[in-house]
Amino acid sequence: MAGSSLLTLLDDIATLLDDISMMGKVAAKKTVGVLGDDLSLNAQQVSGVRANRELPVVWGVAKGSLLNKVILVPLALVISAFIPWAITPLLMLGGSYLCYEGAEKVLHSLHARKNKGDAEARQKRLEALSGQDPKTFERDKVKGAVRTDFILSAEIVAITLGIVADAPLLNQVLILSGIAVLVTIGVYGIVGVIVKLDDMGYWLADRQSALAKGVGKGLLVLAPWLMKILTIVGTLAMFLVGGGIVVHGIAPLHHIIEHYAAGFGGLVESALPALCNLVLGLALGMVLLGVVNLIAKLRGKK
């Protein structure tokens, strides 16, 4: 009896692991698009930090990301079990925040570009930066990145939960936890490599090997351009992800866009919904930014 019970237990465990493996693969495929946005967003979030503090900042954001998922995984399971209707509105709120944050970045970038040739404005910016506490600047960077990560992590958890919603509770917990850990390690591992590309370039450029020197010089040329590209891509990703969440939350609008795009077929059918998400995300972000600035102005704040 004991032997048969043990075999039954082992069989159950094997079946459980097989189910988890299959659903985990599906969940990973479904979330890969969000991971691309997550990667570009977080890489550009930690740009502008002193070289010797880049990895500590990435590590700080990674720890915050893990904490986000520690909060989100049980919260998602509870919401799914008791108030599943609340998942979509909560995601839409998060998506709206991403759009607002993206609009704020665009406005800040345009303002900086406008005053680029103004020596007085440039001097003021330099004085403001020189008077800022490096620890405060670093802490603000980490907080901003962790806030953004929270929204993206919520979407990844929601997507995964939708896939495993009909599975037993233990399977749901294991798959959600596994995806959360893998996502965090994968994203912030790559972010850590990206922000240290220039240091790797300097190290390789000092080697004796001609190949190492060539690769090092190539990395030194690539690194600043890559960070500039990721800054742009990261901002666009805010509108794409945020706008996409909001559009998916408004079923009639989502169906209209999908139906209209289906009439074109081919590449246009795939690209048009993303373009609509981008445009609507930008428009929503600008509206929210205008509302927030108006409220701040009425309250007497800059």
Q: Which residue has the tokens 């990261």?
A: 234
Q: 252 and 162 in contact (C-beta within 8 Å)? A: no
**Domain extent listing, the chain:** 31-231
Say how far apart CA 180 and CA 178 lie, in whole Å: 5
Residue 157 neighbours by CB under 8 Å, 6+ apart: 69, 72, 73, 76, 176, 179, 180
Q: 28 and 179 in contact (C-beta within 8 Å)? A: yes
Please compute the mean of the pLDDT values over residues 173-199 and round it to a whole number.
82
Say how far apart CA 110 and CA 126 lie, in whole Å: 18
Radius of gyration, alpha carbons of the chain: 23
User: How does pLDDT run across 42-83, given as a tens digit for each residue?
Assistant: 555 555 555 566 777 778 888 888 998 899 999 988 888 888
CA distances from 48 to 17, 22, 158, 190 (A): 43, 41, 32, 17
Using DSSP's 3-state secondary structure scheme, residue 199 falls into helix
Its pTM surpasses 0.75 = no
Q: What is the mean pLDDT of the chain?
A: 77
User: How does pLDDT run across 270-299, given as a tens digit for each residue?
Assistant: 889 999 999 999 999 999 999 999 998 888
